[in-house]
Amino acid sequence: MSLYEPKNTSHRGQYQWSRTGDAAAIAISDLQPYLRVKMEQARIALEVQELVVAARNTPPTQPPAGSDLGSVLARLRNEVVTVLNQDRRAASRRGSLAE
């Protein structure tokens, strides 16, 4: 866990917690029942982690059984684009409110 201190001194610091791999999958699984906005991203992240685990247990000369990495990555890309577009729209609305 780390503390991020914003440049703007009127903003409070943010504690940031980071996990990757299996530890992230455990955290996502535990948090998933409480998610509303990021539910689909969490589901895709868990699918990607399942593919990673399957790949670990598969010889490098053959693809993991039942994996469709291309479709999972395509869905992940679409989710990223959707979130970025939502962020842009929100920033645009904030900008128009400030005028």
Q: What is the pTM of this model?
A: 0.59
Q: How many domains are there within the chain?
A: 1
Estimate the crossing angle of helix 39-56 against helix 21-31, to 10 degrees.
150
The series of mean pLDDT values per 10 residues for the chain, 99 residues long, is 90 90 93 90 88 77 64 77 78 65
Domain that holds residue 8: 2-98
Torsion sign over Cα 82, 87, 88, 89: positive
Residue 98: what pLDDT?
A: 53
